[in-house]
Amino acid sequence: MVAQCALIMINNLSRQGESSIDPVIRILKNKDVDSIVISLDRVEDISRLINRYHNRIDRIVIGGGDGTLNAAVKPVLESGLPLGILPLGTANDLARTLSIPADLEEAAKVVTDGRIEMIDIGVVNDIYFLNAASIGLAVRVTHMLDSGIKKRWGGLAYLIAFFKAFQVNRAFLVQVSCDGVKHRHKSIHLTVANGRHYGRGLTIRDDAQIDDQKLHCYSLEPQSFWQLVKAAPSIVRGTFVNPENIKLFEGRRIDIFTRRPQQIDIDGELMGQTPAYFSIKDRILPVFVPAKTPPR
């Protein structure tokens, strides 16, 4: 039997990647959980490190943002070990969905005292995602963000980038096939989500769960900036009560076709382009979540 030991990998390039994790190590040690701590300069090393230490550990802890967690999904899944999360990024949407505290010490306690929940994973063009994949406006925002801006401005960087992106964004013709039913319309932005939160705290649906075994999608039709501002509260909260200029879909299989190829933003990183073929893997990834709080 493998002794209790966590492989902790910290992404140095994440917004809070230089934070001291000594309190985390201490909290784990107080619960008889040893630690192997690795500072990551490249997320591509995650798979190699998991393979190297696999026989010495019983859990994997990732310190970083949503992009780091996305890079860790496949190797963690292949390891069969549960995932602990230290939210050190800018957005930390998966941590928010799972009700994992932003405070580093409290997040460490989830790794020792929490329960293991099996969560869904989204797949787009054979690439895993935890939160969401988008085309249109979100891609423009991602183009205007870099690690320097996010480190300097934090969450405000997204708002600044959004204003700039909207000015240059253009509508595109899209066909959405949701569980075989086809819909055609013009869009300026489209998101397909797995969990509840994405895009630094936006909510895809107010009733969405990361283990509900379905994908949630919305598409924004062409509209003025002020129309979008008017719709913003429902987009942020995921309520979409009497939505105007918004199309909603949900299902297990969603395919996106565009007249011209559109880049895809996957958990905050640009990876691939349309056509995009989405599916869901049901309750497949074991993750530590707070013992008394259900995943949200």
Class of domain 127-282: mainly beta
Tally Cβ neighbours within 10 Å of residue 93: 28
Question: For 123-176, how does the pLDDT look when each residue is reduced to its tens digit (9 = 90+)?
Answer: 999 999 999 999 998 888 777 776 566 556 566 666 777 777 777 788 999 999
Q: Is the pLDDT of residue 17 over 50?
A: no
DSSP state, 221? P
**5-113 under CATH 3.40.1390.30, yes or no:** no
So where are the chain's domains?
5-113, 127-282
Q: Distance from first CA to last CA of the chain, Å, rounded?
A: 33
Q: How far is CA 268 from CA 48, 87, 129, 143, 225, in A?
A: 23, 15, 10, 10, 23
3-class SS of residue 43: helix
d(C-alpha 42, C-alpha 48), whole Å = 11
Residue with tokens 């787009």: 124
Mean pLDDT of 11-37: 84
| Predicted TM-score (pTM) of this structure | 0.87
d(C-alpha 28, C-alpha 6), whole Å = 8
What is the residue-averaged pLDDT of the chain?
89
Question: For 36-91, how does the pLDDT look when each residue is reduced to its tens digit (9 = 90+)?
Answer: 999 998 999 999 999 999 999 999 999 999 989 999 999 999 999 999 999 998 88
